[in-house]
Amino acid sequence: MKKPRIYVDTSVIGGCLDEEFAEDSNALLEMAKRGDAVLLVSDLLLDELRFAPPDVSAILDSLPSNCIEVVKFSSEAYRLRDQYLAAGVVGPGSADDALHVALATLAGADLLGSWNFKHIVHYDKVRKFNGVNLAEGYPLMDIVSPPEIV
């Protein structure tokens, strides 16, 4: 059976040290360590971790490289992000959230895991992101929180 390729945003990594989210965030990372999933980690997540406390950055550094696939920025990702913004899925202040969804979509992720319930993992937002994806010829993106994955 094919391993699921799961795009994770920064909230999942930071969630490993948050009392409310630690159990499921850590369980998701353990899935990857066991070889039951591949984590898609984007250049955007890596940029965001540069401003995170060292103990948060260390979480990603502790993962074996064979369970991670890096997703690079691309002009196509920025174009799709801009389509989400133009459609009003999220506002300009949430452009990075839209870019996470664009990067996951273009990478062909099976799932996008996030704790961002306001701008990403929200019924209305998921429908709108997927509406843009369909209009632009991209596949639907399953966007869920870590408990739905582990």
The SS3 assignment for 143 reads: strand
Q: What is the mean predicted confidence (pLDDT) over 123-138?
A: 98
Q: What is the mean predicted confidence (pLDDT) over 20-30?
A: 98
**Structure pTM?**
0.96
- DSSP-assigned beta bridge partners for residue 8: 113
Phi, psi of 89 (to 5 degrees): -60, -45
Q: E strand or H helix at 69, and its extent? A: strand 68-71
Q: What is the mean predicted confidence (pLDDT) over 77-89?
A: 98
pLDDT at residue 1, as a whole number: 79
Q: What is the mean predicted confidence (pLDDT) over 65-70?
A: 96
pLDDT higher than 90, residue 6: yes
In CATH terms, 5-148 corresponds, of 3.40.50.1010, 3.40.50.12590, 3.40.50.150, 3.30.450.40, to 3.40.50.1010
26-41 tens-digit pLDDT:
999 999 999 999 999 9
